[in-house]
């Protein structure tokens, strides 16, 4: 699991059947001090996250395949939670 910021959304006219009706967002991981780092990632969102939201993302393929109800889905990343508040101790 990683902390990430939603920086945009993706639109696709042609996509795998498992992603039909799925909301696709672009997320970028953040460092401990909340600065964007790494490459942008395409994530499947079923929680209603939007631009600027801080989210918890995971690459748990089995969990996502179960969420999408498709064992052959090519998707990898998905939003596991929207962060309301977080403190670094």
CA 55 to chain centre: 8
2-43, pLDDT tens digit by residue? 999 999 999 988 899 999 888 999 999 999 888 999 999 999
pTM for this model (two decimals): 0.88
Backbone angles phi, psi at 17, to 5 degrees: -55, -30
35-76, pLDDT tens digit by residue? 999 999 999 999 999 999 999 999 988 888 998 999 999 999
- What is d(CA 61, CA 87) in angstroms, rounded to the nearest whole number? 28
Q: Which domains does the chain have, with CATH numbers?
A: 2-82 (2.40.50.220)
């Amino acid at each position: 699991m990683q902390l990430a910021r939603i920086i945009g959304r993706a639109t696709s006219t042609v996509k795998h059947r498992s992603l039909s009706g799925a909301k696709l967002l672009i997320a970028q991981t953040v460092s401990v001090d909340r600065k964007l780092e790494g490459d942008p990632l395409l994530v499947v969102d079923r929680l209603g996250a939007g631009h600027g939201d801080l989210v918890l993302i995971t690459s748990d393929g089995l969990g996502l395949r179960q969420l999408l109800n498709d064992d052959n889905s090519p998707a990898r990343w998905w939003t596991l939670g929207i962060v309301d508040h977080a403190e670094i101790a």
